[in-house]
Chains A and B, each alone.
Chain A
Amino acid sequence: MKRLLGVALGILTAIGGFLDIGDMVTNAVVGSRFGLSLAWVVLVGVVGICLFAHMSGKVAAVSGRATFEIIRERLGSRAAAANLMASFAVTLLTLTAEVGGIALALQLASSVEPRLWVPVAALAVWLVVWRARFSSLENVTGLLGLALVGFAVALHLLGPDWGELAEQAVGGVPAGEGPAAYWYYAIALFGAAMTPYEVFFFSSGGVEEGWSVKDLAQSRLNVLVGFPLGGVLSVAIAGCAAVVFLPQAVEVSALSQVVLPAAQAGGTLLLAVVLVGVVAATFGAALETCLSTGYTVAQFLGWSWGKWRRPVRAARFHLTMIVALLVAVGVLMTSVDPVAVTEYSVVFSAVALPLTYLPVLVVANDPEYMGEHVNGRLLNAFGLVYLVLVLLASLAAIPLMIATGAGS
Chain B
Amino acid sequence: MGTRRRTAPGTLVVLPVLVLGGCTLSPSEGSSLTVATDAATSALGTADLTVRLLSEGRVPATVADTALLDTTRMLGEADLAVATFVAGDEHDARLRDEVAAAVSDASDAVVHARSWAGAPTRDAAEGERVAVELDDAAEAVDRAAAAVEASGGAP
Which positions in A face B, CB cutoff 8 Å? 107-111, 244-245, 248-251, 253-254, 256-257, 259-260, 263-264, 267-268, 271, 275, 340, 398, 401-402, 404-408
Contact = CB atoms under 8 A, between A and B. Distances in A.
B66 A402 contact: no
B63 interface: yes
Given A260-B53, A264-B49, A406-B22, A271 B63 contact: yes
Nearest to A272: B60
A159 to B, nearest CB: 16
Contacts of B59: 260, 263, 268, 271
Given A111-B66, A408-B30, A260 B25 contact: no
B107 interface: no
A249 B145 CA distance: 12
Counting chain A CB atoms within 10 Å of each CB, the highest count among B22, B65, B66, B69 belongs to B66
Given A249-B45, A254-B70, A402 B35 contact: no
A257 B46 contact: yes
A267 B58 contact: yes
A18 to B, nearest CB: 24
A244 B35 CA distance: 21
Interface in B39-54: 41-42, 45-46, 49-50, 53
B66 A256 contact: yes
B147 interface: no
Nearest to B52: A264
B25 A402 contact: yes
Contact of B42 (A250, A260, A271, A340): A250
Nearest to B54: A263
A211 to B, nearest CB: 40
Contacts, number: 92
Contacts of A405: 25-27, 30
A264 B35 CA distance: 28
B111 interface: no
27 contacts: A107-B66, A108-B62, A108-B63, A111-B61, A111-B62, A245-B45, A249-B38, A249-B45, A250-B49, A251-B42, A253-B42, A254-B67, A254-B70, A254-B74, A256-B67, A256-B69, A257-B67, A260-B46, A260-B53, A263-B53, A268-B57, A268-B60, A271-B63, A402-B18, A402-B25, A406-B22, A406-B26
Contacts of A256: 46, 63, 66-67, 69-70
Contacts of A275: 63
Contacts of A249: 38, 41-42, 45
A256 B69 CA distance: 9
Contacts of A340: 28
Nearest to B37: A249
B2 interface: no
Contacts of A260: 46, 49-50, 53, 59, 63, 67
Contacts of A398: 18, 22
B152 interface: no
A407 B30 CA distance: 12
Given A248-B45, A254-B67, A402-B18, 8 more contacts: A108-B62, A244-B49, A250-B45, A253-B70, A257-B70, A263-B58, A268-B59, A398-B18
A93 B124 CA distance: 45
Contacts of B41: 248-250
B10 interface: no
Nearest to A249: B41
A408 B66 contact: no
Contacts of A248: 41, 45, 49
B62 to A, nearest CB: 4
A264 B53 contact: yes
B9 interface: no
